[in-house]
Amino acid sequence: MKTMELRVTVNGQPRKWSIGPGDLLLDVLRREGFFGVKRGCEKGECGSCTVLVDGRAVNSCLMFAAKVQGCEVLTIEGLADGDRLDPIQGAFLDHGAAQCGFCTPGMILAAKWLLDKNPHPSEDEVREAMAGVLCRCTGYIKPVEAVLAAAKQPAKRATRKREPAGVAR
Amino acid sequence: MFERVEVFYRPASVREAVRLLAGGKGRARIVAGGTDLVVDGDPTARALIDITHSGLAYIRKQGGGCAIGAATTMAELEESRTILALGGGILARAAATCGSIQIRGVATVGGNLANGSPAADLVTPLLVLDAVVVVADAKGRRKLPIAEYLAARGTKGLRQSLLVEVTAPRPLGRRCGWSFQKLGRTALDISVVNVAAGLQVDGAGRIQWARVALGAVAPTAIRAGATEENLQGRTLDAEAIAQAAEGVMREVSPISDVRASAAYRREMCRVLTRRALEECAAQAGCAL
């Protein structure tokens, strides 16, 4: 298989990877150990593979990896600042807004896209932004509440400590 | 799915993109957002040509209408003041229904047209807006009215061309109404049926100009030509709308698929056309 070099910044760290020209971003990120990027439907429907590319929420299952050349990619692993959780992560914890957790990285990153763009969204705007991430445990109310809460109280949650946990794959 | 792709190009100009496409021996594929190409897969693709760095992401005012670069995303259309002001904003409204924010941030107007889905949401508003598609190949650029483009898409003449731009002329101004109606299984789903309409009435409430376009109910999105003709010159009232809504059912040729039966689609053509014309009438200041 032919390969090409991909230079990309992932979670603030510059990377240089060898990829296939037809590789998808989801496959490359998981191959490189970013297991917070979940493999779900692989058709752009479930949103579990959501990452931010230059601040824009995308389905990494639908994006050729070569397209992120020179871009900044943010995965769920890069959201906390050391031990300090992002306000959205803190709000998800406070609201118990995860059941099995498989969709949670996508939900949080879709929410981050929204709050970066629109710090004070209405509930409708939150629901629209989150609509591309499917939860098959069927719990949308708590995630929506969590995002609305994160939008209200960013200062409080910025100091929250990261909780030790195993890495789910 | 794309393991056999040998090279990924990022041309910096249309000229270069067209040259790469022509040199691809039929095995080069254009990619913009990739949201259709990746889902469909293409085991015959050997080269990918990413046109998102080719200077094709723009929305420009042009002679009272606008020109939209093929690599402009749905999100950009939704938020553009120019597009929101064009023809009652029906194109912006259609773009806002094209899937989730993850899709709309990367999916492009060029992809929506070039992929050729009969349900493509931008096509019915573009038909109503009398849009023109600009394609480029090694010989130069050509303009095609959108209906002609839809008919010719995929034929030999267009296979080696790149869709570079969509233009819409200045829409009519006074006493106009515009509407886009979409019925999908869920808020994010592809259309079961979509309808766009535009019309203008004179001071006496008679219809001077009418456009009705329907998507997902024929091999391509279509204009309901006979219905438009029947509306012409009539007073825009409840009876005219009811007859037009009945009329479109005779102009469509829907199929049954996983999303809906042909009979249901045909019935929904009536319902959505009525809603669309009612919205147009309200905007044009006609009491029903």
Q: How far apart are the first and last CA of chain B?
A: 54
Domain ranges of chain A: 4-78, 87-157
B188 at A interface, C-beta within 8 A: yes
Note the pLDDT of residue A167.
Answer: 52
The helix or strand, by DSSP H or E, that contains position A144, with its residue range, turns out to be helix A141-152
Cβ–Cβ gap A61/B38 under 8 Å: yes
Confidence of residue A160 (pLDDT cuts 50, 70, 90): low
Note the pLDDT of residue A72.
Answer: 98
The span from the CA of B89 to the CA of A103, in Å, is 34
Query: Phi, psi at residue B267, to the nearest 5°?
Result: -65, -40
For Cα atoms B230, B235, B237, give the angle at the middle one, nearest 5 degrees: 100
Q: What DSSP line would sit under A27-67, residue for residue?
A: HHHHHTT-TTS----SSSSS-TTEEEETTEEEEGGGSBGGG
Residues 6+ positions from A48 with CB-CB distance below 8 Å = A38, A39, A40, A41, A102, A103, A105, A106, A133, A134
Secondary-structure percent of chain A, ordered helix, strand, coil, rounded to 5: 35, 20, 45
B7 at A interface, C-beta within 8 A: yes
Q: What is the mean pLDDT of chain A?
A: 92
Buried b (16+ CB within 10 A) or exposed e, B62-88: eeebbbbbbbbbbbbbbebebbeebbb
Cβ–Cβ gap B187/A67 under 8 Å: no
The span from the CA of B251 to the CA of B246, in Å, is 10
Q: Specify the 3-state DSSP secondary structure of A80.
A: coil
Q: Which two tokens stand for residue B182?
A: 């979409």
Instruction: For residue A43, give how far its alpha carbon lies from the nearest alpha carbon of chain B (Å).
Output: 6
Cβ–Cβ gap A44/B39 under 8 Å: yes
Instruction: For residue A166, give how far its alpha carbon lies from the nearest alpha carbon of chain B (Å).
Output: 28
Cβ–Cβ gap A58/B31 under 8 Å: no
Residues 6+ positions from B88 with CB-CB distance below 8 Å = B176, B177, B178, B179, B198, B283
Of residues B35, B50, B100, nearest to A47 (C-beta)? B100
Set out the domains of chain B in order of their start, with CATH numbers.
7-53 (3.30.43.10), 59-168 (3.30.465.10), 176-283 (3.30.390.50)
The span from the CA of B103 to the CA of A44, in Å, is 7
Region of B65 on the Ramachandran plot (φ > 0 left; ψ -120 to 50 alpha; else beta): beta
A21 at B interface, C-beta within 8 A: yes
Task: Residue B41: list chain A partners with CB under 8 A.
Answer: none
Note the pLDDT of residue B64.
Answer: 87
**Cα–Cα separations (whole angstroms), residue A81 to A85, B59, B106:** 6, 38, 28
Of residues A62, A66, A113, nearest to B101 (C-beta)? A113
Q: Specify the 3-state DSSP secondary structure of A117.
A: helix
B162 at A interface, C-beta within 8 A: no
Let me know: does A48 contact A75? Beta carbons within 8 Å: no
Let me know: does B70 contact B90? Beta carbons within 8 Å: no
pLDDT over threshold 60, residue A80: yes
pLDDT in tens, A14-41: 999 999 999 999 999 999 999 999 999 9
Size of interface A-B (CB pairs under 8 A): 94
CATH superfamily, region A87-157: [2Fe-2S]-binding domain (1.10.150.120)
ipTM above 0.90, yes or no: yes
B256 at A interface, C-beta within 8 A: no
The span from the CA of B117 to the CA of A52, in Å, is 28
Region of B99 on the Ramachandran plot (φ > 0 left; ψ -120 to 50 alpha; else beta): left
Note the pLDDT of residue B185.
Answer: 83
Instruction: For residue A164, give how far its alpha carbon lies from the nearest alpha carbon of chain B (Å).
Output: 30
pLDDT over threshold 60, residue A161: no
Confidence of residue A157 (pLDDT cuts 50, 70, 90): very low
Note the pLDDT of residue B18.
Answer: 96
Q: For chain B (length 288 residues), average pLDDT per consecutive 10?
A: 94 97 94 95 96 98 94 97 96 95 97 91 97 95 95 83 96 93 86 96 95 95 97 96 97 92 96 98 92
For the entire predicted model, the pTM comes to 0.93
B40 at A interface, C-beta within 8 A: no
Q: How far apart are the first and last CA of chain A?
A: 27
The percent of residues above 70 in pLDDT, for chain B, comes to 100
CATH 3.10.20.30 fits A4-78, yes or no: yes
The span from the CA of A159 to the CA of A145, in Å, is 20
B97 at A interface, C-beta within 8 A: no
Task: Residue B105: list chain A partners with CB under 8 A.
Answer: 56-58
pLDDT over threshold 70, residue A165: no
Q: Specify the 3-state DSSP secondary structure of A75.
A: coil
The span from the CA of B254 to the CA of B269, in Å, is 10
Note the pLDDT of residue A163.
Answer: 54
Query: Does the CA dihedral A29-A33-A37-A41 come out positive or negative?
Result: positive
